[in-house]
Copies of this chain bind each other. A is one copy, B any other.
């Protein structure tokens, strides 16, 4: 208990001494503490060339390494006895990372943690020169609400995060369109509003008049039916039967009954990233009575079934959207690119966007959301 108190007192002191975190737009000219650090923690730092310097105290460990961006950097003890290493320059945006202590991959105690890769993972924000659409500005801020609801289909309490535009509270008579926005595999309902900065992106777009004020519902893209359904278990990770039912039979009705939505397909969109993008295309095209706007960021319809994507979709949907990062793994890039070409060949109108220089990561998806949200409900 005493140990706990000493730790906490130290943390308080650190918080009080208030090391400033990086949050300026544009080029950084000297090493700065990452904005994703726990307050008061100096390391990891981002250097002007966007490399990352990490430091860890592990006096008894034999080997310590930094695992960042798919590369493992062995750390060595510096003059102060702390393990340290500087990575290669990183792409701007948000990256998960880990510390590997004697072969065990753990999160960095100096970092805020983010649910990704199926666990609470360290994350680092690398500043992006000259880009501010996902940075907090002096504009009205919406709220993200943590909504718990009972799901009969799964016999469980579920939680979703719901963004409301700043004006929602001020206009008690007004109703709003809704975007359903899904996370990727290994992430959860918290991803878009933390790693994705969706609330800041929407606040800024709405304040600039570039997007319609809208509600954004972010649910957890997993579901296990209380009454097992063989149709829900075949086909592995691309079988979204259970989540499809939760989304269309429970989440959408719950949102429409509890909030001031415009409850028709013309005012309902669905999108998501990676697994969430595949879900959005699957659910969106499977329920044209519910959705008129469909998007997938690094996720799309399944390219193997071209007959499922006929030109009649042009009459059914107001927007079909697909995006991919140019630096994503080849099989991901080609899967999305071929899907886009197939739509073209089938005469299906759609917006196709390539995020230049980004991988299968949050900057691809922030850019996609920024573009997609501005097109909705117009």
Q: B-contacting residues of A (Cβ < 8 Å)? A: 1-5, 7-16, 18, 38-40, 56-63, 70, 96, 99, 101-107, 109-113, 117-120, 136, 138, 141, 143-150, 157, 169, 172, 184-186, 193, 199, 222, 224, 237, 258-259, 275, 328-329, 359-360
Contact = CB atoms under 8 A, between A and B. Distances in A.
Nearest to A194: B146
A61 B102 CA distance: 5
Contacts of A143: 145-147
B101 A186 contact: no
Query: How many copies of this protein are present in the complex?
Result: 2
A12 B172 contact: no
B16 A222 contact: yes
Contact of A70 (B4, B40, B70): B4
A136 to B, nearest CB: 5
Nearest to A120: B113
A237 B1 CA distance: 18
A40 B118 CA distance: 9
A4 B258 contact: no
Contact of A185 (B8, B101, B328): B8
Nearest 8 pairs of A and B residues by beta carbon: A11-B118, A60-B103, A8-B186, A106-B106, A11-B186, A58-B104, A113-B120, A18-B224
A40 B188 CA distance: 13
A102 B185 contact: no
B136 A102 contact: no
A63 B102 CA distance: 10
Contacts of A119: 11, 38, 109-110
Given A61-B102, A146-B193, A186-B12, A7 B118 contact: yes
A200 to B, nearest CB: 9
Contact of A106 (B101, B117, B148): B101
A7 B61 contact: no
